[in-house]
Structure 1
Amino acid sequence: MAVSASLFPESVETDRLRLERVDADDAGALDLYEHWRTEAPNVEESTEYVSWEPYDHPNGVAETLERAVDRVEGGDGAMYLLRPRDGEDRAGEIAGTTGLFTGWDQRLAVFGMWLRKPFWGRGYSGERADALFELAFDRLDLDVVRVSHVPENTNSERAITKYVDRHGGRREGRFRNRVSFDDGSIHDTVEYSVSQSEWAAADGAETAVEFRD
């Protein structure tokens, strides 16, 4: 199925966040290396439960961003930089990344997120989820959103449970040996889903969302 990359907005604004799509001409996105490198502050904690490991060279980050651009151009999803808006502490900094990845044949979207430690505990996970739900269901007209975490990640469990419940979704269960990490380890995942009809009935958004193309 051919899908126009324009379906994924260049930026998304919520009350406190700006999501900026990673694009081929966005050289500034390589600033991510400062936060993804092996010696970055708190990087071991912030990547403990993600499938990738910190990078030891900027080239690795560049390759990751190139793959993200390919996804946009192929209509398979988009990766966004998260930045707090004016009025927030550390406004304008890269707080983390988020992504929406599509399975068009299954009419499915999968959310992902990585957040730097200084930005934990602010409710940013739920706020960007409000935006991505609207993107998945209202703009892309997909049927189901899926999100997951490894069982040991209790911070993600609390955040995901809160916004999934708020949007009318449910915990699907624990799935064994679901994901492989770059270090060779294999992990279970705990998975959740929200359908478009559940989302529409719950009306659980806590923030205004604006797409900019």
Structure 2
Amino acid sequence: MTLFPHSVETERLRLERLTSDDLWDLYDHARTDAPGIDEVTRHLTWDPHETPKVTRDFVTMVESQWAEGEVATYVVRPRDGEANAGEFGGATGLTVDWERRLGTLGLWLKPPLWGRGYSGERAGALLALAFDRLDLDVVAVTHDPANDASRRAIEKYVDRFGGRREGTFRHAAVGHGGGVLDHVRYSVAREEWRAAVGEDHGVRFGVES
């Protein structure tokens, strides 16, 4: 049994643990010729998957990280009543640095799910996981300075949860083709989050069936 819940539910989303059962769905949406994949990965640090083996190796890594309590990676699915309900919508994760009591958020969504406010709703779910279940002190999130859509989404939910913009970290990550990327970083502390949401954060955690 790991520290991470098998699923996390919000009003409109269900986050489900990413496993080998999702391999072909993931490959279909992350492969080099997937619809909109260049747009999806333009500001990210991973390249589209050239073969199913790349996806398999990624899933194997994700399952190992989950077992070790290092990263909780979830498939994002809209719930019933939403457009694209039940479909594979992308992936999100919470990377944990236990020594620093720090969590870091990650997310990618396929284009049909953009512009619906899902980024903030999913962030709220993972903040609840970080602070309410994992007893972390701070959660951070970053974006490429050139990614205005991510900037707007992140600023909106960081402000809602009482967090702050920390600044631009130069040469923070390696992107496509070995290029170096700057990152703009934000953070939310547990006390800030608690003051913003109160005692009832409205997030439901599921267990392994």
Provide the residue aligned with 1:17 in structure 2: 13
CA distance in structure 1 between the partners assigned to 2:182 and 2:75 by the alignment? 27
Distance 1:70 1:106, change over 3 A: same
The equivalent position to 1:61 in structure 2, one of 55, 60, 65, is 55
Distance 1:205 1:160, change over 3 A: farther
Gaps of 5+ in 1: none
State the secondary structure of the residue aligned to 2:178.
Answer: coil
Provide the residue aligned with 1:80 in structure 2: 74
Gaps of 5+ in 2: none
Spell out structure 1 runs of 4+ moving beyond 6 A: 204-207
Shift of the alpha carbon at 1:90? 1.0
The residue type paired with residue 186 of structure 2 is Y
1:193 aligns with 2:187: yes
The equivalent position to 1:180 in structure 2, one of 174, 184, 207, is 174
Tell me the percent identity. 51
Q: Note if contact 2:76-2:89 (Cα within 8 Å) is conserved in structure 1.
A: yes
CA distance in structure 2 between the partners assigned to 1:27 and 1:175 by the alignment? 36
1:6 aligns with 2:37: no
> Deviation digits for residues 67-97 of structure 1, max 9, x if unmatched?
1111111111211000011111111111110
Aligned-pair RMSD on alpha carbons?
A: 1.5
Q: Note if contact 2:23-2:55 (Cα within 8 Å) is conserved in structure 1.
A: no
TM-score (norm 1): 0.94
State the secondary structure of the residue aligned to 1:105.
Answer: coil
